[in-house]
Amino acid sequence: MIIISGSASPKLSAQVASLLGAELVKAEVRRFPDGELYVRVDAELKRKSVAVIQSTCPPQNDNLVELLLLLDAAKDLGATRVIAVVPYLAYSRQDKRFKPGEAISLRTVSKLISQSGAEELITVDIHQEETLGNFTIPAFNQTAMPLIGRYLRGLNLRDPVIIGADQGSIKRATKVALELGAEHYFLEKRRISPENVVVYPKDMNVQGRDVVMVDDIVSTGGTIIGAAKILQQQGARDVYVACAHPVLAGNAAQRLMDAGIKQIIATDTIEKDVSVVSVAPLIAELLK
């Protein structure tokens, strides 16, 4: 197995290669003066199994095109099996048509990946697992929630409560709570616009307790900030955020801190300062 590291996932690629004892190839990625990308894989790939590890985090479109170019180059170099490892799969939230005329973006992205030489896809905490059905190649999803739960164990939280940031996060919150042997709830939310989210209060026993809000993605932080206000009003002690994908668009990290969040705990599907949990073992397991 050869691991090709895309420019969005250098540390994660190195960790996966080291866990597998596999050769690590760092792709050469440059930009032409007009903005187009140039990609070169300088390695012998004939008759090899190759995994291209490239997150499609912001800048999503550049990282996606880089992924497609890397997959195609690997196939062209004679690899027998090319696996696309996309720890954060951009566009996965637009997985259906919410209004007439909208593009089903995830479907388009899945077509591009499948057509670019990938024979398999591996991702982590995709927004909705059922949407893997959009891929015409075998597609696998790993969840980082138990690993996040184990990390939280080390924080010695006071009488913790795990809260799914919305209905979609019930399963994720349950997995985290199981690792901690903690109680869990979920909140109800409605998104008014991309930036505005209304979270509906629920009666929860959070008085004097540490609360961890769990979500797949933290992007603008709107969902978490809305929920944190309610939890703080209900007497929560410290409020933490745990997510797989720390997109943290714009000044979201600062906004979360200003809203009184004690710590953001995230994985390295997107390599950021808050990426304290590595998904490398989950990916290595599937590549074995």
Note the residues at the interface with ligand R5P (CB under 6 A).
Answer: 93, 165-166, 168, 197, 215-223
**Residue 93, annotated ligand binder?**
yes
* DSSP category for residue 157: -
Which residue is it, tokens 């995830």? 106
CB of 219 to ligand R5P, least distance (A): 3
Q: Which two tokens stand for residue 96?
A: 């259906």
**Residue 80, annotated ligand binder?**
no
Q: Residue 262 catalytic?
A: no
**Residue 36, annotated ligand binder?**
yes
Active-site hit among 48, 75, 175, 189: 189
CB of 146 to ligand R5P, least distance (A): 18
CB of 21 to ligand R5P, least distance (A): 36
* Rounded Cα gap, residues 191 and 141, in angstroms: 26
**Residue 216, annotated ligand binder?**
no
| DSSP-derived 3-state class of residue 166 | coil
Between 153 and 191, name the residue whose CB sits nearer to ligand R5P: 191
Question: CA distances (Å), 192 to each of 199, 226, 239, in order?
Answer: 11, 12, 24
Question: CA distances (Å), 242 to each of 31, 59, 75, 260, 262, in order?
Answer: 35, 22, 37, 14, 11
* Rounded Cα gap, residues 221 and 5, in angstroms: 29
User: Which segments are annotated as binding site?
Assistant: 34-36, 93-94, 127, 166, 191, 215, 219-223
Q: Residues at the annotated binding site for D-ribose 5-phosphate?
A: 191, 215, 219-223
Active site residues: 189
Which residues are known binding-site members for ATP? Answer: 34-36, 93-94
